[in-house]
Amino acid sequence: MAKAKTAYVCTDCGASSSKWQGQCGECGAWNTLTEFVVEPAAAGKGGGAAPSHQVGWAGRPASAGVVALKDVSQDAEVRVSTTIGELDRVLGGGLVEGSVVLVGGDPGIGKSTLLLQALALMSAHLPAIYVTGEESLAQVAGRAQRLGLPLENLHALAETCVEKILGQAASARPAPRLLVADSIQTLWSELLSAAPGSVSQVRESAAKLVRFAKETGTSVFLVGHVTKEGGIAGPRVLEHMVDAVLYFEGESGSRFRVLRAFKNRFGAVNELGVFAMGDKGLREVPNPSAIFLSGSSTAQPGSAVMVTREGTRPLLVEVQALVDSSPLSNPRRVALGLEQNRLAMLLAVLHRHGGVVTGDQDVFVNVVGGIRVQETAADLPVLLAVLSSLRDRPLAEKTVVFGEVGLSGEIRPVPNGEERLKEAATHGFRRAIVPKANAPKKGAFKDMEVIAVERLSEALDAAAD
């Protein structure tokens, strides 16, 4: 096999060099030159290219050449269930043929456990290979046995060279339709001299696996390490190359795990799946709203329940606030599960349009359960929780709140207001403070009092009743 030609490209300015050097000659940045393949080697050993006769799950040719879009079949995309309902939800209804899914998360949060569970269950009807670059086969088998998983049809491979992995997959009979690579940072290509985990190796290994998935119709899961900032380690282009990016989230002291879709070409982004970690691995949580609500039977000052929407699912979440006099000249504003800058903005709106002064108070806001709320429907619940803590008066029991607060003090509507109210009514809430534009038709909720508000002052009055 002819050796591939490589170049060293600066990740800051894009300048290329024929050899590595510590400092970029164009922009002067240090240690930014990374190795890239500029001329692929000739196809051969372990190239992973599919034969021209190879077909996908639905029997369609792997490559059809250039065609007119009007002639492309509009058949529904082929999906298969992972047998794990919460994972299917996050993926958009199941696993798509030939898709590449990147799963990231903190160490020990359950990435490998979830994928091993899914592959063991799916291998009963689809050939699957679990490729491990971090554990031995004995360790993988031992973990699967501890989890009580069926192992009759699940095959594993301990290898880190991506050419050898693709060669083994191409020669396996029956041909695999599912492949897990754990993890992408341990893989390396023999075309490059860089160390495994480097930008160039991660990029080249991922590119080969993506090409293999598209040419053969094999669905591929990639496990990705995260950096201390919380992003996937490696080049940012890695997330652009794959079809879906899923992140595992969860607090270190909690047994609950949240799987969130940050990118999905086949479904809704920000879709959310909830799991609980136990001695038998991860199990689905059928009613996630219940775990995010406080176990207290009585209303407490500084607490407000909101309905957030994650993907296609409405979730009931408790927002807690603590307001206390500050000994500092610059009072603290701390938000967990919410954007810090938005909290400061909301407190300014509360002062200007609600007449409530918090300039000499420390304000702490927390979303219970470790979930992160990224939509503006949390604005009104946050302000009512802050007011409740400041006045030491709880909101009325069984009250739910949602709505966006504008800078001029208006209460703006949020999407899918009626679905949020239905979710709250299902969990026994009898009172709701919502934007006027989200108010349902009269008589739609006979067992729930819906208070529609247009201004922040109206919402503060309704909360005081």
SS (H, E, C) 343-362: HHHHHHHHHHHHCCCCCCEE
**DSSP letter assigned to residue 30:** B
| pLDDT tens-digit profile, the chain (465 residues) | 455 677 887 876 767 788 888 888 888 888 888 777 765 544 444 444 444 334 444 444 445 578 888 887 766 578 899 999 999 999 999 999 999 999 998 888 999 999 999 999 999 899 999 999 999 999 999 999 999 998 888 899 999 999 999 999 999 989 999 999 999 999 999 988 888 888 888 989 999 999 999 999 999 999 998 876 666 766 678 899 999 999 988 776 778 888 989 999 998 887 889 999 988 899 998 788 877 775 655 678 999 999 998 777 889 999 999 999 999 999 999 999 999 999 999 999 999 999 999 999 999 999 987 788 989 999 999 999 999 999 999 999 999 999 999 999 999 999 999 999 999 999 999 999 999 999 998 878 888 999 999 999 999 999 987
Indicate the angle between helix axes 111-122 and 137-146, nearest 10 degrees: 80
Q: How far is it, in rounded angstroms, from Cα 171 to Cα 181?
A: 17
SS3 content of the chain, % helix, strand, coil (to 5): 25, 30, 45
Tell me the two tokens of residue 261. Answer: 């879709």
Q: How far are the Cα atoms of 161, 230, 368, 421 from residue 309, in angstroms, in the given order?
A: 42, 23, 15, 11
Q: In what order do the strands lie in the sheet with 16-17?
A: 16-17, 5-10, 33-39
Strands 16-17 vs 5-10: parallel, antiparallel or unpaired? antiparallel
